């Protein structure tokens, strides 16, 4: 039977009402939605091996016969240890939370198993724990070669194997129509729509997956360029002319001297603020280069010119940290500061909002909730937005009624080569801070595999004994085939006792995150196991170790961001990049981080290396997709897509007109999708 893209998701075999509801919560209502739910990463399983050939700490794909024998563990968790035989060796396999696994398996039948190898209870023994399993005569998911990974919510009950089976059905049974004109596809080396869907969902190689992704990114890039073109009309908008001389008294009050790069960026910002036109500027700087102090100095100048200044952070955690860290610099001059974020208690928030609306608050710290309809300003004249640069255009639209042409400063800690940055941020002027503060010690980076876990834990224990902190970052919260927060947290608690270990993920509510981070930053928590939620928005001076599990699964720029979370105080920082990948490409990429701490050089090397066909690293949250990230991966396509958009807008054929309309609508959605947190 042939289905169409707008057919309901429930037409697929295996998608009952419960599964359909779970998919709808993910925004997947139709077959088209399902096919457009693209992978966030790719894995490559090695060929089948015998159990005797497996290595502790590594994942293995094994064919073996279930013998029918096994024992049940204690408790209600449903732990079973079942025996399998691969033709040479009988070995144990442990299953958790599957109380009926023993009866669901067929005795003397052959199965495919994929999971991680752990040391057994007896010295020299091994055990396979919590594998994905398929019967040989029904196997579809477990095979050697490349396979996709999807950003599936942990608690909705849908597993990678199940989701992949629905994708496979949809690919076979859905009629896929072209929406990019043939001329554009040919000129920019794009696959057909059907081939592109097949390439990204069922690739035969990483290169094929990368080539297939070009089709979808062409449309994403064109939507981005459309939005930027619309926003450029604001470039010459008149703005308040401010006296820049006040910056001297502020910088003189600091307990340190600004670097040359900071002074240059501040000078460019003040030139904008005193020019009589509205400032729209991006400050791009490496991790720890001191971007925020530049923004704080500019905010001070704005406040001394009798307007209110906003300093906006990407997370509630960082908003509170900024308020606590920087408000004393303003209060020294008699200025009043306040902070606003989404989960504040109503009484506290109401009091803060009153200070803002009355004009009593000179400097306002907070998250993007500061731009919501419930916040009224007396006279807003300056806004600094940290990290979330992809929201810049939409922010300006929201701020139209918040002030009179307020000056806008956007900051990014994701280093991008200048030539590419000038194209991505065409609606912004750019300042670059490419110098680190004096006395900052470069973080020392080590590259190792999981056989050295014990040594890494020893370093973490030594740090904890000195009252210092460590991060352990995993590529997922929970996963069938990679190290994850749940699994690593359990091991870390045992390995690091009596030092306190805690964990944090993006699925926690803000109050719980606040509690966990407070204990880690200032309390007795010595080690925090986390996803990449701590990549930005965390400033813990006592943090000295960043241990990244499955480091090959992340992009270099992302790893550089993670590394920047440690060594921010007086103590030496260390970064442990752990990988069990034996692939030379992965080791070459990670060696770049080992050999340099220059974020701009890392970005350049990342671009060059990705040209060989690598795919950007896995993002646990599923929210990967910054245009800046994709543009770094596909710089040539990004540059070409602007020309493609112009051609599309000038064409009068039916398909071009239809695509242009969809791009226009997609652009509106993209530039209005701001998370108010």
What three-state secondary structure class fits 41? strand
Q: For the stretch 513-546, what's the b/e string if a residue is b when 16 or more beta carbons lie within 10 angstroms of its beta carbon?
A: bbebbeebbeeebbbbbbbbbbbbbbbbebbbbb
Query: Which backbone phi and psi does 345 adopt, to 5 degrees?
Result: -65, 145
DSSP summary character for residue 274:
T
Task: Please list, in sequence order, all residues whose beta carbon lies within 8 angstroms of the beta carbon of residue 505, skipping any fewer than 6 positions away.
Answer: 477, 485, 530, 531, 533, 620
The predicted pLDDT at position 206 comes to 86
The predicted pLDDT at position 674 comes to 42
Cα–chain-centroid distance for residue 612? Answer: 22
For the record, the structure tokens of 245 come out as 């001389």
Domains, the chain, with CATH or none: 3-41+150-228 (no CATH), 47-143 (2.40.50.140), 235-433 (3.40.50.300), 444-596 (3.40.50.300)
- Going by DSSP bridges, is the β-strand pair 469-473/403-412 parallel, antiparallel, or unpaired? unpaired
The predicted pLDDT at position 154 comes to 64
The predicted pLDDT at position 451 comes to 82
CB-CB contact of 534 with 506 (8 Å): no
CA–CA distance, 598 with 389 (Å, rounded to integer): 21
**Under-50 pLDDT residues of the chain:** 389-392, 611-625, 674-677
The predicted pLDDT at position 175 comes to 95
Q: In the beta sheet, which residues pair with residue 175?
A: 4
Q: Is 24 exposed, middle or buried (0-12, 13-18, 19+ CB in 10 A)?
A: middle
The predicted pLDDT at position 619 comes to 37
- Going by DSSP bridges, is the β-strand pair 174-175/3-4 parallel, antiparallel, or unpaired? parallel
Distance, first Cα to last Cα, the chain: 45
CA–CA distance, 177 with 4 (Å, rounded to integer): 9
CB atoms within 10 A of CB 246: 18
Portion of the chain with pLDDT greater than 70, in percent: 90
The predicted pLDDT at position 392 comes to 47
Q: List pLDDT tens digits, range 568-616.
A: 888 999 999 999 877 777 788 889 888 888 887 887 777 666 543 344 3
CA–CA distance, 462 with 468 (Å, rounded to integer): 9
In 551-590 the beta strands, taken as DSSP E runs, fall at: 574-578
**Residue whose token pair is 């603020």:** 273
CA–CA distance, 51 with 463 (Å, rounded to integer): 37
Q: List pLDDT tens digits, range 37-59.
A: 999 878 778 889 999 999 887 88
The predicted pLDDT at position 108 comes to 95
- Going by DSSP bridges, is the β-strand pair 59-72/110-119 parallel, antiparallel, or unpaired? antiparallel
The predicted pLDDT at position 378 comes to 95
Q: What is the largest CA-CA distance in the chain?
A: 83
């Amino acid at each position: 039977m042939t289905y169409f893209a707008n057919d309901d998701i429930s037409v697929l075999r295996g998608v009952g009402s419960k599964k359909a509801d779970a998919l709808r919560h993910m925004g997947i209502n139709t077959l088209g939605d399902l096919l457009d739910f693209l992978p966030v990463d790719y894995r490559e399983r090695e060929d089948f091996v015998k159990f005797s050939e497996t290595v502790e700490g590594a994942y293995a794909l094994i064919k073996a016969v279930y013998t029918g024998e096994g024992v049940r563990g204690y408790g209600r968790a449903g732990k079973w240890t079942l025996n399998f035989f691969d033709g040479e060796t009988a070995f144990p396999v442990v299953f958790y939370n599957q109380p009926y696994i023993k009866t669901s398996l067929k005795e003397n039948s052959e199965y495919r198993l994929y999971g991680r190898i752990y040391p057994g209870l007896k010295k020299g023994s091994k055990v396979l724990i919590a594998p994905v399993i398929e019967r040989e005569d029904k196997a579809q998911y477990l095979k050697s070669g490349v396979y996709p990974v999807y950003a599936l919510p942990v608690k909705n009950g849908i597993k990678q194997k199940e989701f992949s089976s629905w994708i496979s059905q949809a690919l076979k049974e859905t009629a896929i129509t072209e929406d990019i004109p043939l001329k554009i596809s040919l000129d920019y080396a794009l696959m057909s729509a059907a081939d592109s869907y097949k390439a990204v969902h069922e690739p035969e190689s990483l290169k094929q997956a990368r080539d297939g992704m070009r089709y979808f990114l062409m449309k994403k890039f064109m939507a981005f360029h459309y939005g930027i073109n619309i926003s450029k009309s604001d470039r010459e908008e008149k703005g308040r002319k401010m006296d820049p001389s006040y910056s001297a008294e502020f910088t003189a009050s600091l307990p340190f001297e600004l670097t040359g790069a900071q002074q240059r960026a501040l000078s460019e910002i003040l030139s904008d603020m005193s020019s009589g036109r509205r400032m729209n500027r991006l400050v791009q700087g490496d991790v720890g280069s001191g971007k925020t102090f530049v923004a704080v100095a500019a905010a001070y100048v704005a406040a001394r010119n009798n307007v209110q200044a906003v300093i906006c952070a990407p997370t509630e955690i960082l908003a509170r940290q900024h308020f606590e860290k920087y408000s004393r610099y303003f209060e020294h001059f008699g200025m009043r500061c306040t902070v606003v974020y989404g989960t504040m208690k109503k009484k506290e928030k109401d009091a803060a909002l009153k200070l803002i609306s009355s004009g009593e608050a000179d400097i306002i710290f907070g998250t993007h909730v500061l731009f919501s309809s419930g916040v009224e300003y007396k006279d807003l004249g300056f806004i600094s937005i940290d990290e979330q640069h992809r929201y810049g255009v939409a922010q300006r639209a929201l701020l139209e009624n918040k002030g009179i042409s307020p000056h806008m400063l956007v900051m990014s800690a994701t280093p991008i080569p200048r030539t590419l940055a000038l194209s991505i941020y065409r609606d912004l002027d750019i300042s670059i801070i490419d110098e680190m503060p004096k006395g900052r010690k470069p973080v020392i980076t080590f590259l190792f595999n999981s056989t050295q876990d014990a040594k890494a834990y020893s370093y973490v224990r030594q740090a904890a004994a000195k009252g210092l902190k460590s991060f352990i970052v995993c590529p997922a919260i929970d996963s069938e085939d990679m190290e994850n927060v749940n699994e690593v947290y359990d091991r870390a608690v045992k390995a690091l006792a009596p030092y306190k270990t805690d964990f944090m993920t993006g699925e926690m509510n803000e109050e719980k995150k606040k509690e966990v981070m407070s204990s880690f930053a200032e309390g007795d928590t010595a080690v925090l196991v986390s996803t990449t939620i701590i990549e930005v928005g965390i400033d813990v001076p006592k943090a000295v170790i960043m241990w990244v599990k499955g480091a090959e699964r992340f992009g270099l720029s992302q790893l550089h961001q993670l590394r920047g979370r440690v060594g921010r105080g007086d103590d030496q920082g260390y970064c442990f990049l752990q990988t069990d990948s034996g692939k030379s490409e992965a080791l070459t990429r990670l060696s770049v981080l080992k050999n340099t701490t220059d974020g701009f050089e890392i970005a350049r090397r990342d671009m060059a290396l990705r040209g060989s066909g690598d795919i950007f690293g896995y993002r646990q949250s599923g929210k990967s997709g910054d245009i800046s990230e994709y543009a770094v991966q596909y710089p040539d396509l990004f540059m070409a897509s602007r020309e493609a958009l112009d051609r599309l807008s000038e064409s009068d054929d039916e398909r071009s007109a239809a695509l242009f309309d969809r791009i226009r609508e997609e652009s509106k959605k993209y530039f209005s999708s701001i998370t108010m947190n």
